[in-house]
Structure 1
Amino acid sequence: MRSWVAASLLAGGAITAGAAPESSLASAKPHRAVTQEGNDGSYQLASATALRPVPRPVAPQIAEAEPAVAELNFNGWITEFKVRAVAQGIRESVLDSAFAGVSYDPEVIRRDRNQSEFTKTIWDYLDSAASELRVQNGKAALRDQQARLEQIESEYSVEKEIVVAIWGLESSFGTFRGKMDVIRSLATLAFDGRRGEFFEGQLVAALKILQAGDVAARSMTGSWAGAMGHTQFIPTSYLDYAVDFTGDGKRDIWSDNPADALASTAAYLKKFGWKKGQPWGVEVSLPEGFDYTLADRNIEKTPDEWAALGIKGLDGREVKNHGPASILLPAGSNGAAFMIFRNFAVLERYNTADAYVIGVGHLADRINGGAPIQGNWPRGDRALTLAEREEMQQRLTGAGFDTGGIDGKIGPKTIGAVRAYQVANGLTADGYASLRLLQRLR
């Protein structure tokens, strides 16, 4: 997704290297420039209309190849790819312009290989995502773009604070948009073959953007994995959801003017069902003796039903009824608790990681004058490594608790397996995949 890699929940609140760097400028005025495949941190935007490329030969993974050999094979792959691209409606003149001077980029492959190993805990991520500096910069960015954001909110019924929060996490309010050549990055990833079909689809989409005249080939810059602009759209999502808010005939998410990018983000959220006035979630307090098996995304109750079970807002009152809600414990029974509403799932369409969604929602709340998260975090815990996550899945599966595979990704099936193991062994059934649990499994 972006060069610093999107948040992606991996284990025990662990995510891949987090939010965009914070701007050192207090004013935060923009001045420069998911599979969801996002399960491993590569992308935050999954297109609802996936491109289906012409069947392609499977290229070998070439991460360890000699540079000269890789470049030679890459050039041959481009020749073959151009035939497939023409079959999908890309003009030869567009291909010639797009690939002029494009070479294989080993740095892209290095980043792709290494991204899932570098993790941090959810509390470390949130410390950055909603830091005081980022909150100050967010408020400044909102003031700077106030009129434009109010127009966008009126047009798409998505709160301006949510749009600003996404802008802040994706590019630090336009400060870090990514400077890598998108065609070069996507071609390298498509050639590599590890996820070649997906990236070839993104490459074809990028060529369609060029063919439409929205941007010039060498001005199409972004992250190492092809995410672009102020709010880091991947090409297929751009084709499906980007809008021309300025009315200049182009959907320009790359320029210093963030209008099209911010409106495109609001249009994306609206498309997937954002409900204005409904919070993403509310921090809550749990009663003593709470049945932690109820903290499950598949279990929804209205706030008054949760209140009958002793779950209330931090003010001690019943949470306002915004519709069905679930209880989320991103760091288990020893961390903060949230009552999450269906707008949470809409934000997940942007990035599937719980940490990212909480980061966006909480940053938006803080920009709007809300308080910091009050609950404690188990700061003595550390994130599990990739090898440890895989080991946990192996040991759970071997003990009869199905994780749905051994991939090092702590998703719903692994959390369910953790919870089932906890129930069977008389432990607090919070589904928290911690180092302590792994040590017990050992």
Structure 2
Amino acid sequence: MIEAVGLTKRYGAKTAVYNLSFQVRPGAVTGFLGPNGSGKSTTMRMILGLDNPSSGQVTIGGFPYRKLPNAPRQVGALLDAKAVHGGRHARNHLLCLAQLSGIPARRVDEVLGVVGLQDVARKRSKGFSLGMGQRLGIAAALLGDPQVLLFDEPVNGLDPEGILWVRNLMKALAAEGRTVFVSSHLMSEMALTADHLIVIGRGQLLADQNIKDFISHNSADFARVRTPDTEPQQREKLTAALTEAGGQVLPEQDGGLRVTGLPLPRISDLAHAADVRLWELSPHQASLEEAYMRMTQGAVDYRSTIDQRAGLQQELPPGSMPPPQIPVPGQGQPGWYAPPPPQQGGRPFAMPPGAPQAGPYGAPGAPAAGQGPYGAAPAPGAADANPYAQPAPQAPAQPPAAPAAPAAPDLTKPEDAR
């Protein structure tokens, strides 16, 4: 079991993870969701001992990763499928990992067969496709036959057959009683694979519940109703009857109606009493993607103005819970900055006038001595400005002289007349 208690990670003035507590239990596939920049990768790095938390702790089976005896035999992880020497054969790469952990060589051939790379075991990994690299990374995670497995975007680059294989693999590993922790942005895959969800936004916990409860708590079911398109008066009559009965009715772009507050049998009875013919009366149950988008609306830092103008951020049905407002650690402190909400015609990533210039990862000041945001400190003077901010125009040392007015053309000359 993986357990995090009060986990916090700061890089200088930037807080990547804040007071995060959760448990990943064995026997189930636990999905790890959150917008870009929410702290998922940082959390996984702290679980694996690659980053030290600023406060709090995270343990695996009751021990920090660095104190586990022969940790590769107990924990397998895929964080970066490209972390392979391109000149090595796939088999040699796994063989090196096996020898470092005291794993017998026969296990290398076993995992190559499990991931389907037995036919390319003697090929150099630099010639592998993205999907083949993912399979090799999964093989490395399975090498020690561990009881705890962490995967970051395991289906990235895989074809449909590969995605199905990973889905079945995750379920089979969890069915064996292992702890499986999977981070992914593919909601459709998480809906088919995960049993439990941990959702974070801006480094803080948003949800920790099974997938069915998550969808039901973060969505509003409604009924979809359609009347004959050629008879708009029927649609108006039904809308009036449903509203009078206490329902909430919203028109949809395709001419249908979205009805909340009334069960389907009641809608049917009201339509029959009003002598309205129905072309469609169906229940709508929210998907994981809809519930996730609603839950994380307040935790998205980078939002396109085009999406807003195109109407891609649709209004939620009436009576549903508003999206949670996520507080940001450090907000209001000197140097704090987050991208403003998108505005039509605006520049959402420009720094506000007079704000201090941020470092390459959002921290306005220098990081801790000898330590950069992700390990080694950057070179002095490197990337001192926000990479998304528009550079301020430099004032010229001396105003340029006004250009001389062009001479009036002499229309008596043939070339000027042209």
Shorter-chain TM-score bucket reads under 0.3
- Structure number with higher relative contact order (C-alpha < 8 Å, ≥ 6 residues apart): 1
Larger radius of gyration: 2
Higher fraction of helix: 1
TM-score, normalising length: structure 2: 0.24
